[in-house]
Structures are given as C-alpha cells and as structure tokens.
Amino acid sequence: MPKPEFLDPPQTRDAPSRRTILAGAAWSVPAIAMVSAAPAVAATADVSLAFDRPAYTGDPCSTIDGMVVTATRSGAAAPGVVVTVSLSGTYSFEGGTSTSTATTDANGKVTLPKIRVPSGAGSATATATAPTANAQSVGLSASSNYGRYLVGDATSITSVTSYAVPSSATPIACNGMFFDQNAGALYYGGAVIATGVTSVAGNRNASTDYFSYMQNGVAKSAVGSNGTVQSTNTWPQVPSVAIAVTYGTFFNRTNGETGDIWYWDQAVKTGVNRVAGRSGSPTNRDPKQWWDWISYFDGKGGWLSRYIAGQFVDSRGPAPSVPASAVSTGYPLLLQAGNTQWYRNQATNGIPASAGSQNGVLDSNNGTLTTEWLSGVFNGTPRTVQRFDGQSGSTPTNFPSIPSSATPVGPKGVFLDQGNLWYIDKIVDVNVTSAVGDSLPDGSPRVTVVKSC
C-alpha cells in the first residue's frame, strides 16, 4: 500500500511562511542588542575643585606643607566630596605613596599630607579629581636650596633660613656662607661673591661674620653681616698656595711637614704644623677693632697668640704635655691625639677617634676668652662641657638620646649622626651631609648646614 504523502499545510496570502518568520527572528535579535549596548548619558560636572596656590615649590630633601584643595558646588562649599590628589614624577606624600584620598570637611576643604621633595626632582604636577568634577592640576618644583642656617635658643631651634647653593657645597661658620670647591665659588647670603676660590675659613661673632679666602692665588679677608659684605682687605705678600685660617690669617706649608703663619701680610710664626683660628669683637669695643685668636702647634707644644687689628698682644704657651701627634680640631686651644682630647695643656676624658673632631666656641670680653663650649662623646655618651677662660666651669651636660656614633658639630648640644642633626636630644633636621657652627655665651646655637637626599 502506498505510503501517505505529508504535504505542507495550505498557504494563504496573509499568513507568512515559516522561512519568513525565521528570517525576521534572525534580524530582530541584533536590533535588540544594539539598543541595550548604547552608552549612558554622562553625569553633569557640578563640583569645582581648586588648589589654594597657583604652584608649589619646596626645598630639596624637605617637604611642601599645607596643600589644600577646595570643592564647591554652585559657588558654595561642598562638604562630603571624595577628593584624590595624584603626584607625578618622583614626588611623593609622606608614607611613600603618589596619591592621597580624603573627604572634604564642612568648609569643602581637604588638607593634603606633606609632600616630599627629592633631590634633583625637577618639575612635576599635582592633579585633583573627584566624582562629577573636572580634574584640576598645579605645578610642583624643587628649589636649589641645599643650604640652611639654623638659629636656636637654649632649648630649641627657633628659625631656619634656606639658601640656594649646590649640594656639593661646604658650610662655613658664618650666616649663609658656603663654599663650592668643585666650582671654586664662595656663596654669601645666597649669592656668589667670589669665584676662583681655593680655600675659605670664617666664623660668626654676635651679628658679624669674619672670614678669609684665597682667590686666584691672592689672599683676601672680609667682614660682613647677614649676607652683606661690609669691607674687604687684600694681602698681596701672602704666598699664593697658602690656605685661609681666620680673618687676616693664612697658613703656608713650606716643606710638607711644617709651614709659616701669615698674619696681616706678614709671616709671624715659622716651623708650625697645626693651626686654627677665630675672630671676634669685644662687646665694649669698636666692632672694627676685633681680636684674632690663633692657636698653633710646633715642636715645643701648643700655643695661643692674640692679636687686635693686626697688632700682636700676647701668647699663651707652650703646652709641652700635648703629644706631637695632636691635630687641631678647628678650635683654638683644643687638640685631638688618638683617643684623647687635649684642652690647653690638660688631657680631658678619653674620646674615641670615631667621634670625629671636637669643636668649641669662645666669646670675647676685653680680649679674654670668657665662654667656651667643648663637645664630644665621653664614654659612649655625647656631652658638652662649659668652661670659662680655661677654668673648670659648669657640670657636663649629657645627651643620652643622641647616638654614641654622633659627631659633635660645635655649638652646645649639637651633633650630627647619619644625616640627622641633633640639638638637645632632639632631631632638628634630616638629610644633612655637613654642618658647622658656634654658640652664643648662653649656649644658643648658630648652625650652617648642607643637605642632600
């Protein structure tokens, strides 16, 4: 029996065929997908951001403090806005991150953490962003201020002045004085006052700076105050290879072992192998009539000679007990031999050689040495001793928080250890590579430093 045939159902003009339905379905799916993938309309930027300064500059190895971002909405403070600030380049916030996020306060403000300024950082930007706000950016830059002058009272540092000098410079114990040996440049008050310089020495007494330098083989001395040179003398007879010691004083080594001291253009001592000096004006004298103290060591021992305005006054010495191996610490009357510090003709407590040079300061009163601060590391403890014209003075002051590896800088209680500058058991500056300074009679410090990250 023949099998039945299965025929398609009858078609009408109004009913679509199965192929027509499938074809329509195939086109309808992408059409639906295209509508669902359309981007959402962007939110309106109704918040405005603004930095509190048009640009920010900081000293190398220091920080930019107090950056503030303000958020407003229609001109009014916008509290509760989440603000993110990002730093470019090598700048970073304290903690090491390059971004910081915070929420604006009731006044619409965010105060950012301190921003670290690395050495040689160059220019960069700080960019602030927030939801429904357009990004805002400001410039960041680093100054060339690697020099600093710190002033303190008997307990703390009270002011810091920055100076634009290279990190390769050496501090001189005057206000704002630095010597860049690589370039032969002498800086004073943030400006170069001499080039072709090979050696510099100086100190500050009260508000006056006394210093000498060798410039293109010519000996010169000057008096200044707070970065301004007030007078200059030239000493044409001083040998061109001499080195500066203090005002009007130079040392010319003649045979590799010993040499001559030149004072105000005359050779005043021969056969000398150690020398240090300091200048200052007595409080009741004309500031132009200052005293020059020159401490030196020869085959007979240690000596101290005093001069005033170029004229010899007297000598103290010799100190025959001081061994021939003693070297000057840069301070009159104070020598170092091995582990022993020699003051005048007496050995003080043993001081490890690793503590570095011991320093002190004296101030003048009618030409006498009235106040002397001697610092060192005694039996593992940093200490400062006050003496009066060579006599026993105050009870030693110990600074137990300062590391025993620290080096005394000069002023009472000021030490340098691994880049940290300490004063009275507290760190007062960081990233310090070299420091020098003096104290006032009451022990208040004056310290010149150079920093480098």
Lowest-confidence region among 232-236, 300-304, 306-310: 300-304
In this structure, is the dihedral angle defined by the CA atoms of residues 102, 104, 106 and 111, taken in order, positive or negative? positive
pLDDT of residue 260: 96
When computed from its CA atoms, the radius of gyration of the chain, rounded to whole angstroms, is 36
Give the three-class secondary structure for 234: strand
Question: Are both 295 and 386 inside the same structural domain?
Answer: yes
pLDDT of residue 22: 39
Question: Are both 234 and 297 inside the same structural domain?
Answer: yes
Contacts of 27 by beta carbon, 8 Å cutoff, 6+ apart: none
Residue with tokens 């107090």: 66
354 C-beta neighbours (distance < 10 Å), count = 10
Question: Are both 336 and 402 inside the same structural domain?
Answer: yes
pLDDT of residue 6: 36
Domain edge (last residue) among 87, 118, 142? 142
**Range(s) of the domain holding residue 100:** 48-142
Question: Are both 245 and 370 inside the same structural domain?
Answer: yes
Question: Are both 130 and 181 inside the same structural domain?
Answer: no
Give 423's Cβ-side CA count (13 Å radius).
25
**Distance (Å, rounded) from C-alpha 404 to C-alpha 162?**
29
Q: How would residue 25 be classed by pLDDT, with cut points 50, 70 and 90? A: very low
Question: Are both 439 and 354 inside the same structural domain?
Answer: yes
Contacts of 407 by beta carbon, 8 Å cutoff, 6+ apart: 355, 356, 357, 415, 416, 417
Question: Across the chain, which distance is largest between two alpha carbons, in Å?
Answer: 153
Residue 220 has pLDDT above 90, yes or no: yes
CB crowding 99-109: b at 16 or more within 10 Å, else e: ebebebeeebb
% of the chain at pLDDT higher than 90: 49
The amino acid that residue 309 corresponds to is A
Question: Are both 231 and 341 inside the same structural domain?
Answer: yes
For the chain, the distance separating the N- and C-terminal CA atoms, rounded to the nearest angstrom, is 106
Question: Are both 127 and 168 inside the same structural domain?
Answer: no
* Burial class, 114, CB count within 10 angstroms (exposed 0-12 / middle 13-18 / buried 19+): middle
Helix H or strand E segment including 295: strand 291-298
The amino acid that residue 190 corresponds to is G
* Burial class, 76, CB count within 10 angstroms (exposed 0-12 / middle 13-18 / buried 19+): exposed
pLDDT digits (tens, 9 = 90+) for 304-356: 787 888 888 887 777 666 666 666 554 555 555 655 656 555 665 544 432 33
Question: Are both 157 and 129 inside the same structural domain?
Answer: no
Domain edge (last residue) among 142, 172, 195? 142
Beta strands in 9-123 (DSSP E): 48-51, 55-58, 62-64, 68-73, 76-77, 82-87, 92-93, 99-103, 109-111, 115-117
Residue with tokens 């329509």: 24
| Phi-psi domain of 452 (left: phi exceeds 0; alpha: psi -120 through 50; beta: other) | beta
pLDDT of residue 211: 96
pLDDT digits (tens, 9 = 90+) for 242-257: 999 999 999 999 887 8
pLDDT of residue 105: 97
User: Does a structural domain hold residue 3?
Assistant: no
pLDDT of residue 286: 54
Question: Are both 358 and 243 inside the same structural domain?
Answer: yes
Global pTM value: 0.73
